[in-house]
């Protein structure tokens, strides 16, 4: 009898809890919040330094984009046989492996020297792209070396890539990251330098606040990751990288790969 009473009261309690009168939670505000994203990219073939610091990405649980150049000479056929094994670890971590040219040529210089797009494609795009595919990779995005884009060629690169990235380390009237709102091409995006000599946490904080508030995609780019701040201006230190990732995640901004960014 006691057990029956207990069962009855439990049933009544459950019925009371599952009442249809409870209104659903209001989610409108959440849904209306614009999407805020940051892409963090690393250029060239600096596998040793990236690999030595990959724990940072794993600890923050983020995927970044590596724009790879000289895949043959610097990675697969590097005299240091450990480099290719380290590269495979980076691939296994799930980061985007993107393309940054076969020989890291300056497209604008070649264009000015009279090269056609076909010359450029055969020399700079096709060889390493083919090799990367042979090694099981499938880069779908490209970053122009030196940020030296050629508009006529960019148009033709649409047949090969889903999206292309430029690069800038130039401020205009003392403004740098804030200028990302000026670039709104659907295909050619601009990566803003977070290399040591450009990295400005004060300006970044303002831009990230704006991004969290109003949405948008900010693309950042650097090269080497160093143990501490160094003489190499094209590098970011471990501590600065950690600080940057914290600043982004503390604002609930997503860190996404270049190919997965929405650019809304």
Count interface residues toward Zn ion (CB under 5 A).
3
Output the residue with the shortest Cβ distance to Zn ion. 43
Q: Would you give the binding string for Zn ion spanning residues 112-151, x where CB under 5 A is met? A: ---------------------------------x------
Quote the crossing angle between the two packed helices 201-214 and 238-250, to the nearest 10°: 30
CB of 45 to Zn ion, least distance (A): 9
Residues from 214 through 243 that contact Zn ion (CB under 5 A) = none
Q: Which is nearer to Zn ion, 51 or 165 (CB)?
A: 165
Which residue of 36, 37, 44, 149 would you call a contact of Zn ion, by CB under 5 A? 44
CB of 43 to Zn ion, least distance (A): 4
Q: Is the dihedral of CA 252, 179, 104, 222 positive or negative?
A: negative
CB of 111 to Zn ion, least distance (A): 17
Instruction: Decide if residue 43 touches Zn ion (CB under 5 A).
Output: yes
CB of 100 to Zn ion, least distance (A): 6
| Span interacting with Zn ion, options 1-9, 37-45, 179-187, 241-249, rule CB under 5 A | 37-45
| Span interacting with Zn ion, options 26-34, 42-50, 56-64, 155-163, rule CB under 5 A | 42-50
Q: Which two tokens stand for residue 56?
A: 């940072």
Instruction: Name the nearest CA neighbour of 143 among 41, 21, 8.
Output: 41
CB of 38 to Zn ion, least distance (A): 20
Binding site for Zn ion (CB under 5 A): 43-44, 145
């Amino acid at each position: 009898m006691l057990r029956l009473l207990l069962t009855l009261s439990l049933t009544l309690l459950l019925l009371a809890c599952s009442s249809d009168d409870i209104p659903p939670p209001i989610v409108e505000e959440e849904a209306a919040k614009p999407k805020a994203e940051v892409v963090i990219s690393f250029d060239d073939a600096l596998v040793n330094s990236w690999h030595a610091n990959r724990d940072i990405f794993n600890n923050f649980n983020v995927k970044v984009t590596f724009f790879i150049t000289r895949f043959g000479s610097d990675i697969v056929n590097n005299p240091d046989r450990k480099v290719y094994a380290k590269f495979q670890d980076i691939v296994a971590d799930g980061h985007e492996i993107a393309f940054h040219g076969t020989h890291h040529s300056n497209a604008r210089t070649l264009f000015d020297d009279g090269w056609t797009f076909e010359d450029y494609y055969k020399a700079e795009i096709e060889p390493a792209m083919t090799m990367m595919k042979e090694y099981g990779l499938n880069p779908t995005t490209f970053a122009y070396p030196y940020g030296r884009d050629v508009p006529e060629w960019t148009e033709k690169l649409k047949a090969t890539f889903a999206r292309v990235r430029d690069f800038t380390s130039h401020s205009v009237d003392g403004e740098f990251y804030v200028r990302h709102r000026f670039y709104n091409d659907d295909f050619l995006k601009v990566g803003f330098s977070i290399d040591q000599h450009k990295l400005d946490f004060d300006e970044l904080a303002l831009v990230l606040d704006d991004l969290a508030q109003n949405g948008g995609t900010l693309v950042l780019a650097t090269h080497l990751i160093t143990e501490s701040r160094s003489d190499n201006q094209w590098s970011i230190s471990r501590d600065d990288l950690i600080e940057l990732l914290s600043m982004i995640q503390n604002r609930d901004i997503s860190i996404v790969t270049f190919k997965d960014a929405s650019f809304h």
